[in-house]
Amino acid sequence: MADLTTTCAGITSPNPFWLASAPPTNSGLQVQRGFEAGWGGAVWKTLGTPIQNVSSRFGGHSIRGVKGAGFSNIELITDRSLEVNLREIRETKRLFPKHPIIVSLMVETEAEWRDIIKQSIDAGADGLELNFGCPHGMCERGMGSAVGQEPKINERITGWAVSNSTVPVLVKLTPNVSNIVPHGVAAKRGGAHGVSLINTIQSIIGVDIDRFVPEPRVGGAGTNGGYCGSAVKPIALHMVAQLARTTEFGLPISGIGGISNWRDAVEFILLGSSSVQVCTEVMLRGYPVVEDMIHGLSHYMDDHGFATVAEMVGKAVPNFREWGELDLNYETVAKIDASKCIGCQLCVAACHDGAHQCIHPVADTRVPRVDEAECVGCNLCQIVCPVPDCITMEPVENGFARASWNDFSERGTAIRPKKGVHG
Ligand SMILES: Cc1cc2nc3c(=O)[nH]c(=O)nc-3n(C[C@H](O)[C@H](O)[C@H](O)COP(=O)(O)O)c2cc1C
Ligand code: SF4
Ligand code: SF4
């Protein structure tokens, strides 16, 4: 059986699944229930000067009937006193000594950072996470993403934290930047032991179209919130991968953003995360979601011959290439397995209106036909087909050697004639 123990930025946990800093880690009893359910570690709800929250504060984006597939919040850091939080951290650590508690922090001045770091470590923190990511409320006060968006300030505050800490320091990055790399590199320059990403994405989740107010609605007004949940996973994966393949970065990564099952977690690990954090899925379905994540990861590792999580970390990173390095001569066409086709014609509509007009209805059968000479292998039909493995994309042997755009433009390497270009 695979060993799920993982070490991320020097913090070891029995499995890579950590509760992210958010409502599920708001109190000692919650974190304890989380550990009992199987979570490997927990990042405590961000501590700082307690604030006052608004109501309402959450918004959900239903995507084709899945409620909360996208999620938004305008909640701030903890609204409980520092004293109570520290007492509960100490108690939780006493009850679960093998489960790391990473304490998330957000304060302003160097003296405040020094004090809160000391208090957190004294309470038993196994690591610290600097919240440079919150995109609402706190940034207007010069904290959160206001720090994460300024590499020099990020570096300076990380430096303060690291110099005052005896435990590993993770910097939690904001995705509200055009390029994550300078921000990860700034955390490294400041001496961070690792980074966590992503925090939430600045967004407006929707509008109350009868009251004319952006959501979530606080009385008669709304404001921008932070977007998270399944819908943000592709953005988070992109940012994790960008850092993981930056040679000058090279720090451990705790991946966050839209993880709702073991497959999502595997994807984050393969792109360079040595732990993964989850918030929205737990908010929507409760702590037990981790059971399936643990079983799924364990079976995946056994099936693929991974004895440890460390062996998996970053396995897909070398296969990430710039567009200009992709093989222009690699060719696929869509094939329909007639024995599986239910004749819904979704592929016909998609290919005709959204692709290259090469799947055609056939008289006397509901199974459409692919005109392979015109198919550009774009994948759209496979994406819309409701039957697993009914449409597959099959490689075509076209006689052309590998040639990327860079090869073509720099050395004139031959590329195959274009398909699917009409008129
Ligand atoms: C209601 C809510 C409150 C959050 N509070 C915090 C917080 O206090 N500190 C923090 O670093 N991140 C906070 N986050 C961000 C999460 O930790 C996480 O980075 C983000 O939700 C993406 O993960 P997910 O898609 O699994 O939710 C919060 C998220 C939500 C939804
Ligand atoms: S792969 Fe694209 S072009 Fe080919 S049949 Fe499917 S939708 Fe049409
Ligand atoms: S979408 Fe799939 S099931 Fe529907 S007609 Fe096309 S091949 Fe058949």
Give tens-digit pLDDT for 334-364. 999 999 999 999 999 999 999 999 999 999 9
Domain locations in the chain? 6-319, 323-411
Rounded to whole angstroms, the Cα distance separating 171 from 174 reads: 10
Q: How far is CA 363 from the centre of its chain?
A: 46
* Cβ atoms of 72 and 58 closer than 8 Å: yes
In the DSSP assignment, the letter for residue 229 is: S
- Quote the ligand 3 centre to 395 CA distance (angstroms): 20
Pick from 148-157, 247-256, 369-378: least confident: 148-157
* pLDDT, tens only, 164-188: 999 999 999 999 999 999 999 999 9
Q: Do domains 6-319 and 323-411 have the same CATH topology?
A: no
The question of whether 228 is a catalytic residue gets the answer no
Ligand nearest to the CA of 421: 2
The pLDDT of residue 133 is above 90? no
DSSP 76-116: -S--S-HHHHHHHHHHHHHH-TTS-EEEEE--SSHHHHHHH
Domain boundaries 323-411, corresponding CATH code: 3.30.70.20
Residues with CB under 6 A from ligand 1: 20-23, 45-46, 71, 73, 75, 77, 104, 131, 133, 172, 199-200, 228-229, 232, 256-259, 278-280
Spell out the residues 6+ positions from residue 117 whose beta carbon is closer than 8 angstroms to its own. Answer: 105, 128, 161, 164, 165
Residue at 377: amino acid letter = G
Q: Which phi and psi angles does 296 have, rounded to 5°? A: -65, -45
Rounded to whole angstroms, the Cα distance separating 129 from 101 reads: 10
- Quote the ligand 1 centre to 267 CA distance (angstroms): 20
Q: Is the whole-model pTM more than 0.85?
A: yes
List the Cα angle 391/396/402 in 5-degree steps: 130
* pLDDT, tens only, 399-416: 999 999 999 999 999 999
Domain boundaries 6-319, corresponding CATH code: 3.20.20.70
pLDDT value of residue 421:
66
Ligand nearest to the CA of 68: 1
